Structure 1
């Protein structure tokens, strides 16, 4: 997609975003909640099982194990820029399940509905960011070091 005249970022923004450390740092930041969550679940597997059971996912041990694999594996795919599409896709699908199970604002009322409503759309934004990370990964130039 070509940028239209007048839609480019200011030079100082382009200069900042072109720094070698920005893209890797943003990939880590994007998946940080998943990576930390996956490691925490792995270290406290009984609690991870209880969490899945709490949200009605059965068998809870299977769902906990899947969450750990997707959270850690998908995060590493995004951070290392290897199979970004499958890593981000897995994280996105996990997030869809979380949105529907844990943020079911349509079944709640009062303050609980308010909190779940906000969280639902925050998760939707995170899915959009994962899609954008995949799209930007495809947009990298073929020459030079495209791993940044």
Structure 2
């Protein structure tokens, strides 16, 4: 039986082995959070209103926390330093968001369908953050990967 690496097309192998691929992937994963943090910072009153719309009060506190986690967490993930902390913060923020904003179980019809999809897309992002943290841990200390 051939190994998975034997079945990988050459161009895919070249992309995966390229030194810049991990950084590009971390930027892609964190990009929505980085942009979200900048957007909330630029229009803080809208960020407060968003938090309060989802029942998170006081809105200024939740908006401030969201901005801090989005900006600092993204910077840590992208930089490759303390990735576990940045990815963990973004993962927790995502879990809070999906439980407050994507409550598909309380909706019906098209709204339920859209919230259901968004809920599981956010769950996928959390999985991506876990994988980024696992890879960073294994890269930093191969002996600690078990």
Instruction: Answer whether TM exceeds 0.5 for this pair.
Output: yes
* 2:79 paired residue number: 80
CA offset digits 1:87-137 (Å, max 9, x no partner)? 000000000000100000000000000000000000000000000000011
SS at match of 1:20: coil
TM-score calculated relative to the size of structure 1: 0.89
* 2:37 paired residue number: 38
- The equivalences for 1:1-148 within 5 A come to 6-8=3-5, 10=8, 12=10, 13-140=12-139
Q: Distance in 2 between matches of 1:142 and 1:14?
A: 23
State the number of aligned residues. 140
Deviation at 1:21, TM superposition (A): 1.9
Q: Distance in 1 between matches of 2:53 and 2:9?
A: 50
Structure 1 unmatched ranges of 5 or more: 144-148
Large movers: runs of 4+ above 6 Å: none
Deviation at 1:46, TM superposition (A): 0.4
Deviation at 1:11, TM superposition (A): 5.4
Deviation at 1:138, TM superposition (A): 1.4
Deviation at 1:76, TM superposition (A): 0.3
CA offset digits 1:12-36 (Å, max 9, x no partner)? 2222111122111110000000000
SS at match of 1:140: helix
Structure 2 unmatched ranges of 5 or more: none
TM-score calculated relative to the size of structure 2: 0.90
Deviation at 1:40, TM superposition (A): 0.3
